[in-house]
Amino acid sequence: MVYPNPSISEFNVKTEYKGKMDINFISLDTEYKKLITSISSEEKVNIENIPKGNYWIIITIEGDTVYKTRWVKNE
């Protein structure tokens, strides 16, 4: 689960998985992409440097997609 949505400066990731995960941000508006590696099952993710817009957030564990959602970054 990723919340809040939309977000301004950070969002929370909460899962039942206890290992490390990767988060991919893929913009629906531009060609912006960002990968954040090795987050834990309950973590705040700083998004201040990510441009305003609409994104896919894709969470992967060992290369397998386990969560995908549309997300909005506001300013």
Residue extents of the structural domains in the chain? 2-73
Q: What is the DSSP string of 3-37?
A: ESSSBSSEEEEE-S--S-EEEEEEESSSS-EEEEE
Q: What is the pTM of this model?
A: 0.81
Task: List Cβ neighbours of 67 (8 Å cut-off, separation of 6 or more).
Answer: 1, 2, 15, 57, 58, 59
Residues 7-63 pLDDT 10s: 999 989 888 888 888 999 999 988 888 888 788 777 888 889 889 999 999 999 888
68: confidence class by pLDDT, cuts 50, 70, 90: very high
CATH architecture of 2-73: Sandwich (2.60)
